[in-house]
Amino acid sequence: MSDWVKGVFKKRINRFVSEVTVDGELQQVHVANTGRLKELLTSGVEVLLSDDYKPERKTRYTLRIVKHKGLWVSIDSQLPNKLIFDWLSDGTIQNSDKPRVYKREVKHGDSRFDLYCKETDQFIEVKGVTLVVGGVAMFPDAPTVRGVKHVNHLKDYVLHGGRGAIYFLVQRSDAFEFTPNDKNDPDFGEAVRSASRAGVEIRAFKMSITEQAYIYEGEIPVFL
């Protein structure tokens, strides 16, 4: 993990940039997630930033973690792919009789999936989840046309004899179950249910976060 820079969130300017106070100075920082995050990014909350200084960057810092009701929540949309890859590769997450070799960002047709295992001919799409209401994790927090496309592509792949899975990683520790967010995106929810009926494996996991580590907290039930 990074040597975090602590800050206080002020406001979101657009999908990519927010204002954060760092050491008493107002900074514009990159936001590592283009989702709405309205329940997390509220004025005055503590945040953790990575220092990604490069001369060509417009913003020095990247906002990756938010404190919500005393709990650290990762909003980093790139992190779930890396963590699921690591946990599958070392056997932390069991997906077959033994740890397998996975490749990241593998293209199939006009889609690019997060993970592929040649040994089992399985594509895995990974989704990071930040929204939890009353212990129920939900995805997405905003409509995702791209997400629906990937789910439908996975379903077609399975119907033609391949293997496919969607793994939802809840980037916080206060969830006890997962369900699609039909209120925010009914098309995605229906696509996931249709894919499940076709044989696409749907699983959900959660993690906890400290300033020193990302910790795997196990699998949680999925209700479609």
My answer on whether 113 and 158 are in the same domain is: yes
My answer on whether 68 and 89 are in the same domain is: no
Strand 177-180: give its sheet, edge to edge. Answer: 131-133, 136-139, 177-180
**What's the CATH number where 36 sits?**
2.40.50.580
- Give the per-residue pLDDT at 99: 63
Give the end of a domain, one of 39, 74, 109. Answer: 74
My answer on whether 130 and 215 are in the same domain is: yes
Give the end of a domain, one of 74, 102, 124. Answer: 74
Give the end of a domain, one of 31, 56, 74. Answer: 74
Percent of the chain with pLDDT over 90: 82
pLDDT-derived band of residue 108, with 50, 70 and 90 as boundaries? confident
Domain tally, the chain: 2
Q: Determine which of 110-114, 151-155, 196-200 has the lowest per-residue pLDDT on average.
A: 110-114
The tokens for 122 are 């399985």
Assess whether pLDDT exceeds 90 at residue 193.
yes
SS3 of 45, please? coil
* Mean pLDDT confidence for 88-95: 88
Summarize pLDDT for 32-81 with one digit per residue, the tens. 999 889 999 999 999 999 999 888 889 999 999 999 999 999 999 999 99
Average pLDDT, the chain: 93
My answer on whether 115 and 209 are in the same domain is: yes
My answer on whether 94 and 129 are in the same domain is: yes
* Mean pLDDT confidence for 102-122: 87
Percent of the chain with pLDDT over 70: 97
pLDDT-derived band of residue 98, with 50, 70 and 90 as boundaries? low
Strand 201-209: give its sheet, edge to edge. Answer: 103-108, 111-117, 122-129, 163-170, 201-209, 214-220
The tokens for 86 are 């690591």
Length of the chain: 224
Q: What is the distance in angstroms between the CA of the first residue and the CA of the last residue of the chain?
A: 34
Percentage helix, strand, coil for the chain under 3-state DSSP, each rounded to 5: 15, 45, 40
pLDDT-derived band of residue 112, with 50, 70 and 90 as boundaries? confident
pTM of the complete model: 0.94
Query: Do the strands 136-139 and 177-180 form a parallel or antiparallel pair, or are they unpaired?
Result: parallel
Helix axes 186-198, 145-159, angle to 10 degrees: 10
My answer on whether 43 and 85 are in the same domain is: no
Task: Tell me which residue range forms the domain holding 43.
Answer: 5-74
My answer on whether 66 and 93 are in the same domain is: no
